[in-house]
Chains A and B, each alone.
Chain A
């Protein structure tokens, strides 16, 4: 029998708050973190509705000097989430007991430091020569998040940096679990950070109609919190956000040796490829991804108590995901509680599935399903999307899924552990 893998720490840094508790409280109190952002002015950006992590920025005095030189926000968001998850696991109290060579780091991002690239390109255009900051390359590479976390938290085990678009965070958890299962590590700090507010990224998503565009009369006009509306009949695109999420995974042996408290069990996982289209999801391949994860977890579709959806609020995704859920869960589909926290948090791209994994762990702990905000019934999408208010439920097993451009999917199956 394969070694069991437990979640022993979880965290999120989101537009609802800089830590897991404030994020969770925001979610279950039905608050939205989406605002109009003056920094995204109409002269440069096709959309100014977005989710920013407020009062957070590179350069604060508590930061170490090295990371402060790298003003790419995804790094700082990932570092904050990593430190919080590590602390949540109580591992900061076990500094002398940890074998640091056996602590894996898997920290992903879809875009990495594109914000730094955009800032440096603007600065270089004002210079008389071709030089750019020597911190640009180190700051924009996606694996620098794992690199800085390794440097500052002194963790020296296996390292990887999944760049799987909007599925990056879930992939990080999968890869971390694989390091543990392979016997290469006792602990795995897994997650993702994202902040991709550059004109090219925002306008690129807007031009391909994935992002909610500016449209007179949209209900976000009078309330920006209604911009992101997964599974709703008037959904019209995702709302870009920044953030980070992290889980600490541990082998059963490490849990016992270090006296850690299991917060959930990672029962199974799956990742696969669509091989289908640059941006459109492939129903059949995603169905297979979900079914494989449940089979690996040793659970049946009927055992899933809550489906934490990718639910981006785009016309295409939410329609496809509803069909996928019907394919996988069949007669149970209509009774399965489904929600997308992107209604409150927007879409933080690579970080989103790491945040959703952390929220799923918290949902298991609290026995509470966070709602889908801003939902208006769509006759074509006829499942139970847990609209508008949280729902108490017996939650033993949760499935959370993510799908990324480039046809990359992942699915995690999380199980309740005794409190």
Chain B
């Protein structure tokens, strides 16, 4: 049985946001190590839109200085986790909470 960690749940949520905002097709893989620009073709407008969506979904604010250093999806996850340590739990839907154990 696969154990789903809180980190992987967070990555999955961020992948959903990135996919929805940047209009990426479902078959494009998005993992922690996926590069935002080189692998996903995210441009500067996409990144701003993704950050705004994260602000809404997680009720946090990532400041502009931090945005400049985002390179991979994991960097984004680190920013979210730093500002909302409970983000992976308190915002989970019940099914995800059970799956995350």
Contact = CB atoms under 8 A, between A and B. Distances in A.
Contacts of A128: 55, 61
B22 interface: yes
B38 interface: no
B61 A134 contact: no
Contacts of A61: 25
Contacts of A68: 23
Nearest to A68: B23
Contact of A127 (B45, B48, B55): B55
Contact of A134 (B24, B48, B56): B48
B52 interface: yes
A61 B25 CA distance: 8
A131 B52 contact: yes
B23 A134 contact: no
User: Chain B at the A interface: mostly helix, strand, loop or mixed?
Assistant: helix
A66 B23 CA distance: 8
A257 interface: no
Contacts of A131: 52, 55
A135 interface: yes
B30 to A, nearest CB: 15
B contact residues, range = 10 to 19
A134 B49 contact: yes
Given A127-B55, A127-B56, A129-B61, A65 B24 contact: yes
Contacts of A129: 55, 61
Nearest to B20: A59
B94 to A, nearest CB: 24
Contacts of B49: 69, 133-135
Given A65-B23, A126-B56, A127-B52, 9 more contacts: A61-B25, A65-B22, A68-B23, A69-B21, A131-B52, A133-B49, A133-B52, A134-B45, A135-B45
Interface of A: 59, 61, 65, 68-69, 126-129, 131, 133-135, 138
* Smallest CB-CB A-B distances: 4 pairs: A134-B45, A134-B48, A68-B23, A65-B23
